[in-house]
Amino acid sequence: MADPRSTRATLLVCCPDQRGIVAALAQTLHGHGANILDADQHTDTAAGRFFQRIHFDLVEMRTDLVSLEAGIGEVADRFDMTWRLSHASARKRVAIFVSKYDHCLYDLLLRHRAGELRCDIAMILSNHPDLQPVAEWFGLPYHVFPITKETKAEQEKREMALIDEAQVDLVVLARYMQVLSGDFVGRYPGRIINIHHSFLPAFMGGRPYHQAQARGVKLIGATAHYATTDLDEGPIIEQDVIRASHRDEVKDLVRKGRDLERTVLARAVRWHLEDRVLVYDNKTVVFD
């Protein structure tokens, strides 16, 4: 049976706030025979920016997709709008980067197998061979690129070539314990999601659980964000926290944190795949 979602599309828009935007987009979609299933919008009054996500069905389209995109483009020109149209029939391709920790990797693969993450996982890449049995269990290609200070630039070139060849849409850093270079991050803006084991902006960089224990914090967290050239300072997609106490040692914080890391990363990846995230001014609008 064909997936009914395959005939659907999602439009994300951002523009200066002004009258008539919602009506213009709705009229354009209706005029082409698209059936709006749900629409959500947000206005940042301080920035004077308008954001909207429209999810619609194309079954009764009276024109073709080229005409529809031309119509949206006309509205976009009128309102000085940036926009992105995604079709559900074009499943996004994902590459997962890992090191030696397996909890986030297992969680993503199990959710994918259960149908929670609608995408194609193209490959798993790592700087260590340790998790190859996991990839084999799920029938996925596993590529190892050992990283040293001397080999980092050349290995990243090989990784990028592999990603481009596989037409990967999203890179997920599932506790990948390497800092990506500016060249790598700059090649895929808004297409790399990282999970940081801290409630950013607190405890950036390495060993955040050790920093948290040393400060005696009463809450620890995890943060999923888009990677940028500024380490751990990219636009935040999702966060969550759990209570800690003076009795917790570092190993206890690590254990508690792993549960957060799994769920926070999975939510961020799912929202990206469902085109629910818009980035602006180093922050995000995440539509429900």
Distance CA 29, CA 68 (A): 7
Q: Nearest 10 degrees: CA dihedral of 267, 268, 272, 274?
A: 10
pLDDT tens for 87-134 read 998 999 999 999 999 999 999 999 999 999 999 999 999 999 999 999
CA–CA–CA angle 100, 101, 102 (5° rounding): 110
Catalytic residue selected from 3, 107, 183, 232: 232
Indicate if the alpha-carbon torsion angle 229, 233, 234, 240 is positive or negative: positive
Q: Distance (Å, rounded) from C-alpha 174 to C-alpha 140?
A: 16
Which residues, 6 or more positions from 19, have their beta carbon under 8 angstroms from its beta carbon? none
Q: What is the pLDDT of residues 172-230, one digit of tens each?
A: 999 999 999 999 999 999 999 999 877 666 666 667 777 777 787 777 888 999 999 88
Q: What is the pLDDT of residue 1?
A: 45
Q: Which CATH number fits domain 4-87: 3.30.70.260, 2.60.40.1180, 2.60.40.420, 3.40.47.10?
A: 3.30.70.260
- pTM reported for the whole predicted model: 0.92
Dihedrals phi, psi of 101, to nearest 5 degrees: -75, 135
| Fold adopted by 93-286 | Rossmann fold (3.40.50)
Q: For the chain, give every residue range classified as CATH 3.30.70.260.
A: 4-87
- The verdict on whether 120 is a catalytic residue reads no
**Burial (CB count within 10 angstroms: exposed 0-12, middle 13-18, buried 19+), residue 138:** middle
Q: Tell me, what amino acid is at 165?
A: E
